[in-house]
Every structure is written in C-alpha cells, then in structure tokens.
Amino acid sequence: MIAKIIINSNVLSNNVALIISFLAISLGYLLGSIPPAYILGKLLHGVDIRQQGSGNVGGANAGRLFGKKVFIMVALFDIFKGTIAVFIATLIVPGNTASSGLFSSPELFYALTGFMAIVGHCYSMLLGFSGGKGAATTAGVVLAFDPIIFVILLSSWLITVGTTRFTSLGNLVAVSLLPFTFNFLQDYEEYTLLGWLILVLIFWKHRENIVRLINGEERKFGNKEKIQSNVDDQK
C-alpha cells in the first residue's frame, strides 16, 4: 500500500513537472513572438513593416525606415525578451526540478526554452508564423547564459558591421562563433548543442541575405529608406 502511494506520488510529481516545463517553454516561445518592430511601425507610422524596406520584422529594417531611436528600442526589446525567457525558466523550474526525468539536466531545459524564444521571434504566431531573423533575440539568450560570450559575439558583430556596414554579415559572423565559444567557455554540452541549433536556424533565416551578399545587392546599415504609402494599392 505504501509502495503504491509512493509510485502514484512520483507519477503525479512527474506529471506536474511535465506541465510546468511545457508552460515554461511555451512562455519562451510567446515572449519571442512579440514583434516590437511591427508594433512600433503600426503605432508610430501606421504601416506594416513587412511591406516596407526589406520586409524584415527586425531592428535593422526598422532603423532604416523609422530612424535610430526606433532601431534602439526594437533592438533592446528583441534582446531582452530572449534574456527574460531564460531567466523566467530558471525561476519556474529550478535545477533540481528540471532533472527529474523530463530532461537529462536543467541546462538542457534552459537551452530549449531559450531556443524556443528565438523560434518565436523568427516564426511569430502573432504574425502568421512569420517574423525576424533572430539575431537580437539570440544575443539576449546568450546574455542570460554567459555575459562573456555575449561580449565576444557583440564585439565581432560591431567589428564586422563597422567595417562592412552589412548587419546580415555581422549576424552570420557572430552566430558562427557561438557553438565554439560555448564549447570552450562553458562546461555544458547542452549549450554547445544550443549553439549549433541556433547557427542552423539563423543561417536558414538569412539565406536570402547570403544570396544578396554574394551578388552585391545587400542593403547596408545606416542607409535610410522611405516609407511607402498605399503599398497594398500598388500591388
């Protein structure tokens, strides 16, 4: 009888942990899905940023269209929604809970939550599962895991963009360093795996940018673009 009670208690505990884990990961995705570039474009200018400039729902396109202040606001929001997603995950599911059979380690759980925040940014349910390129939200997730790696990636991004003025190239260079910096500076294989997953996702989202870079047709950071009115009427 006692053994049966213990077994039932363990099953209940695992079920509760499963529900909590699912909610935490879902929250990561939902936070990532919030599109500040789209929201500010609608609020400040009454336009859909997906129909303006490059069409990307991110800081670079917002900056070219709406100015530096909007670029900064969008970039900060996109960064910190990734950081907050991981931070909330550590609060909802402490280390001793995350390793209770649902995940092999708490780090795997946190990595999955962070990755889903990036997926949410790239494929936002609020935008019909479209979205941005994921670079800024990736930076926020990395910041939550290791500020030193964040500084390394930010430095590589600044150097690349500063010398070439291509934000897309800066994104690709920075994310290329991610799995290697995680491997050398972190003791968790889960974070290295996260780095590789992010690298594949970011390169996939930048596939059109890569083609434009090769063809010499990529837009440069800092170039202003005019907001097009009556876009729908022109199509």
Bridge partners, 130 (sequence order): 124
Helix, strand, coil percent values for the chain (each to nearest 5): 75, 0, 25
Tokens at 129, concatenated: 């599962």
Q: How far apart are CA 198 and CA 187, in angstroms?
A: 18
pLDDT of residue 94: 62
211 assigned to some structural domain = yes
Give Dmax over CA atoms of the chain in angstroms.
74
234 assigned to some structural domain = no
End-to-end CA distance of the chain: 72
pLDDT of residue 226: 77
235 assigned to some structural domain = no
Residue 132 near residue 214, CB atoms below 8 Å: no
pLDDT of residue 21: 74
Residue 36 near residue 126, CB atoms below 8 Å: no
What is the rounded radius of gyration, in angstroms, for the C-alpha atoms of the chain?
20
120 assigned to some structural domain = yes
Q: Which domain holds residue 179?
A: 2-222
Q: How far apart are CA 190 and CA 188, in angstroms?
A: 5
193 assigned to some structural domain = yes
What are the average pLDDT values for consecutive 10-residue runs of the chain, which has 235 residues?
A: 40 62 87 96 92 89 90 95 93 60 72 95 95 96 96 96 94 96 89 95 96 92 72 44
pLDDT of residue 221: 80
227 assigned to some structural domain = no
Q: What angle do CA 116, 118, 122 make, to 5 degrees?
A: 110
pLDDT of residue 14: 60
Tokens at 210, concatenated: 């890569």
133 assigned to some structural domain = yes
Name the domain count of the chain: 1
98 assigned to some structural domain = yes
pTM of the model: 0.87
